[in-house]
């Protein structure tokens, strides 16, 4: 059985291929070759420049780090192999960090992909589902609670970007108005990105706190997350970390759980 | 087809502007006398975030036109069902007075190409477009408006004029038309045609909205002009002249000033809107005919 619109499909397939190729597609009105090229170039330029612009908007720090010309080159290579999969262009670029990691001319900048992950996470946080953070005063109501029963719900916009490189520091030093400085002792960093209210926050977490938040994203039990964080950093202070998470607006609910499997203690 | 269930597109008469986030504070502070605002549907498809809060505030003050730029109604494949659901969710949430899309395609297989791409006008593409418009109107339970495109190439296999093509779509699907006067001028110039002949043959009784935007001027290797629909400048004088002629004969003439790139100060945009309003007042003064789109 043939598709109902097979001829149109084939024509559009050729047109779409030509948008990323060298010559105009067959089937245009009988223009002289140089006229056909000039006319078709409007579409080719619209597609390439609008998609490159979308990537520039999403990844301004990457553009600053590699320079405009290099960025346009890598973006052009990316859009050809990874055009958007959806008309919702604000979501475009999720594959760009991995593409940068594998892009041969960018191999001298091993941190680039993680900086791009921070930038993409900021876009995701911006458009994520809304949720009202609990007010800082809410913690007082749980001061007497058994830590083993306390459950923490994190804001749906929260993202973590763990890097073997100082990706967060590089991102921060390349904000508009900031002056990049030499990083003398590069350390791994974990960036936290969230949008508790209208603005996106981006900060770096110490190893214990990063493990704590990462654990809470998998499992809301405070005590288990604290244990995971201790294992990572013996100096981890769970009360401080929780207070900071609440004051940043990262917590949307504090609850007492009666589901005590694998936990000691009983609640009435 | 069950057109009777479709809510007709029904923008209020008058002048509207394409909403840009840069103008949010001015819009709310000045509450200018605008008939409506228009948004690009795809910019409001996030689960949450400040864009929705801004739109909720604006929706409380202004009539709303939702203008899609990514549904690929002219695409040969089936319509993107997920995208149609996103549009339905958006229309459900904001209850716009009108929903419009383009006579163009923008997706192929799984790739979204982010441009309004042209198609040949044949019996086969006519059937394809009508099928897709039926699906859209049925899902949204609304009459949609279809916009005439700016084009830079024509196709050897075309057998129908664009105006015939649009007229036939209207008669088969019951959709309305969004007449973009700048697009008429751009396409006519690019194909060496007379924009007045195009407009004389355009099914004016189906018009539910008019678009006015700026274009860029380029040149082909043989020296012929090639205009580009760029929405980054004021409306050109010949387009204003055509607009006045259109306004005198169109069934309905809610008019949008589109300025999407190199977004100007709010006052500059409002001056363009004021100029369109003056044209519409002339239309009323001279007793321009009014026919309900429904």
Q: Per-residue pLDDT for A1 more than 80?
A: no
Write phi, then psi, for A211 (nearest 5 degrees): -65, -35
| B149 and A CB contact within 8 Å | no
Position B282 scores a pLDDT of 83
The mean pLDDT value for A175-199 works out to 94
Position B283 scores a pLDDT of 76
Residue A259 Cα, gap to closest chain B Cα (Å): 31
Q: How high is the mean pLDDT of chain A?
A: 94
Are the C-beta atoms of A263 and A223 separated by less than 8 Å?
yes
The mean pLDDT value for B102-107 works out to 98
Are the C-beta atoms of B157 and B122 separated by less than 8 Å?
yes
A85·B111 Cβ contact <8 A: yes
Residue A59 Cα, gap to closest chain B Cα (Å): 18
Q: Per-residue pLDDT for A145 more than 90?
A: no
Domain boundaries, chain B: 3-285
| B106 and A CB contact within 8 Å | yes
Position B227 scores a pLDDT of 98
The mean pLDDT value for A98-107 works out to 97
Calculate the alpha carbon distances from A172 to A65, A117, A201, B269, B279 in Å: 12, 14, 12, 36, 51
Q: What percent of chain B has pLDDT over 90?
A: 93
Question: Rounded to an integer, what distance in angstroms lies between the CA atom of residue A210 and that of residue A221?
Answer: 15
Structure tokens of B50?
């400040």
Taking CA–CA distances from B223, the nearest residue in chain A reads A35
| Interface A-B: count of C-beta contacts within 8 A | 145
Question: Rounded to an integer, what distance in angstroms lies between the CA atom of residue A68 and that of residue A209?
Answer: 36
Taking CA–CA distances from B47, the nearest residue in chain A reads A129
Q: Per-residue pLDDT for A265 more than 50?
A: no
Residues 247-266, chain B, touching A (beta carbon < 8 A): none
The mean pLDDT value for A145-165 works out to 96
Q: Kindly list the residues from chain A whose CB atom is less than 8 angstroms away from the CB atom of residue B46.
A: 90, 126-128
Q: How many helices (H) and strands (E) does chain B have?
A: 9, 12
Position B251 scores a pLDDT of 79
Question: What's the pLDDT tens digit per position in B181-225?
Answer: 999 999 999 999 999 999 999 999 999 999 999 999 999 999 999
Please, which pLDDT band fits residue B288 given cuts at 50, 70 and 90? very low
Q: How high is the mean pLDDT of chain B?
A: 95
Query: Does residue A145 sit in helix, strand or coil?
Result: coil
Calculate the alpha carbon distances from B186 to A35, B191, B230, B285 in Å: 17, 9, 10, 29
Q: Kindly list the residues from chain B whose CB atom is less than 8 angstroms away from the CB atom of residue A14.
A: none
A12·B119 Cβ contact <8 A: yes
Taking CA–CA distances from B113, the nearest residue in chain A reads A47
Which residue in the block uniquely carries the two structure tokens 């409380």? B60
Please, which pLDDT band fits residue B2 given cuts at 50, 70 and 90? very low
Beta strands B111-117 and B207-213 are unpaired
Q: DSSP code of A165?
A: S
The mean pLDDT value for A245-263 works out to 84
A222-232 and A238-247 helices, crossing angle to 10° = 110
Domain B3-285 has CATH 1.20.1050.10: no
The mean pLDDT value for A227-240 works out to 96
| B128 and A CB contact within 8 Å | yes
The mean pLDDT value for B41-64 works out to 97
Q: Least CB-CB distance to A128: which of B48, B83, B153?
A: B48
B152·A43 Cβ contact <8 A: yes
Classify the C-alpha dihedral A48-A54-A57-A61 as positive or negative: negative
Burial bucket for residue A265 (CB in 10 Å: 0-12, 13-18, 19+): exposed
Cβ count within 10 A of residue B178: 28
The mean pLDDT value for B45-71 works out to 97
Least confident of A81-90, A139-148, B19-28, B211-220: A139-148
Please, which pLDDT band fits residue A258 given cuts at 50, 70 and 90? confident
Position B286 scores a pLDDT of 61
Position A17 scores a pLDDT of 97
Tell me which of A141 and B41 has the higher pLDDT: B41
Cβ count within 10 A of residue B66: 23
Question: What's the pLDDT tens digit per position in B256-285?
Answer: 999 999 999 999 999 999 999 999 998 766
Question: What's the pLDDT tens digit per position in B108-136?
Answer: 999 999 999 999 999 999 999 999 999 99
Q: Kindly list the residues from chain A whose CB atom is less than 8 angstroms away from the CB atom of residue B44.
A: none
Position B241 scores a pLDDT of 98
Question: What's the pLDDT tens digit per position in A43-59?
Answer: 999 999 999 999 999 99
């Amino acid at each position: 059985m043939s598709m109902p619109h097979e001829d149109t499909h084939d024509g559009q397939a050729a047109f779409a291929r030509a948008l990323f190729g060298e010559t105009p597609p067959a089937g245009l009105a009988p223009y002289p070759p140089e006229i056909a090229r000039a006319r078709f170039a409007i579409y080719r330029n619209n597609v390439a420049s609008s998609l490159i612009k979308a990537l520039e908007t999403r990844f301004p720090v990457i553009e600053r780090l590699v320079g405009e010309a290099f960025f346009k080159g890598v973006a052009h290579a990316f859009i050809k192999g990874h055009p958007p999969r959806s008309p919702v262009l604000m979501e475009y670029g999720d594959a760009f960090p991995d593409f940068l990691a594998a892009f041969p001319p960018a191999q001298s900048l091993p941190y680039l992909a993680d900086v791009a992950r921070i930038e993409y996470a900021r876009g995701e946080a911006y458009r994520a589902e809304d949720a009202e953070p609990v007010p800082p005063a809410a913690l007082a109501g749980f001061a007497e609670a058994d830590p083993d029963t306390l459950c923490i719900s994190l804001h749906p916009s929260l993202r973590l970007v763990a890097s073997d490189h100082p990706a967060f520091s590089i991102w921060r030093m390349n904000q508009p108005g900031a002056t990049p400085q030499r990083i003398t002792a590069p350390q791994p960093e974990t960036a936290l990105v969230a949008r508790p209210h209208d603005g996106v926050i981006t900060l770096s977490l110490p190893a214990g706190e990063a493990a704590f938040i990462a654990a809470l994203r998998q499992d809301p039990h405070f005590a288990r997350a604290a244990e995971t964080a201790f294992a990572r950093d013996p100096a981890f202070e769970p009360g401080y970390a929780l207070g900071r998470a609440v004051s940043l607006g990262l917590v949307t609910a504090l609850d007492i759980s009666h589901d005590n499997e694998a936990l000691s203690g009983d609640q009435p | 087809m069950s057109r009777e269930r479709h809510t007709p597109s029904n923008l209020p008469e008058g002048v509207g502007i394409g909403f840009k986030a840069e103008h949010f504070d001015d819009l709310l502070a000045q509450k200018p006398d605008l008939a409506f605002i228009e948004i690009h549907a795809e910019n409001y498809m996030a689960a949450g975030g400040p864009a929705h809060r801004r739109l909720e505030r604006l929706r409380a003050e202004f009539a709303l036109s939702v203008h899609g730029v990514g549904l690929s109604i002219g695409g040969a494949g089936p319509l993107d069902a997920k995208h149609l659901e996103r549009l339905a969710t958006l229309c459900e949430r904001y209850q716009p007075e009108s929903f419009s899309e383009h006579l163009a395609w923008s997706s192929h297989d799984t790739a979204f190409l982010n441009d309004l791409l042209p198609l040949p006008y044949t019996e086969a593409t006519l059937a394809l477009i009508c099928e897709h418009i039926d699906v859209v109107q049925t899902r949204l339970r609304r009459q949609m408006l279809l916009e005439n495109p700016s084009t830079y190439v024509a196709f050897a296999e075309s057998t129908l004029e664009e105006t015939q093509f649009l007229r036939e779509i209207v008669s088969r699907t019951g959709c309305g038309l969004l007449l973009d006067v700048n697009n008429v001028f751009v396409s006519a110039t690019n194909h060496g045609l007379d924009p007045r002949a195009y407009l004389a043959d355009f099914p004016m009784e189906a018009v539910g909205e008019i678009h006015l935007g700026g274009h860029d001027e380029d040149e082909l290797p043989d020296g012929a002009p090639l205009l580009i629909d760029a929405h980054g400048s004021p409306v050109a004088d010949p387009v204003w002249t055509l607009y006045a002629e259109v306004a005198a004969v169109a069934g309905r003439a809610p008019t949008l000033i589109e300025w999407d790139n190199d977004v100007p100060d709010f006052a500059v945009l409002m001056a363009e809107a004021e100029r369109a309003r003056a044209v519409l007042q002339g239309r009323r003064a001279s007793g321009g005919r009014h026919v309900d789109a429904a």
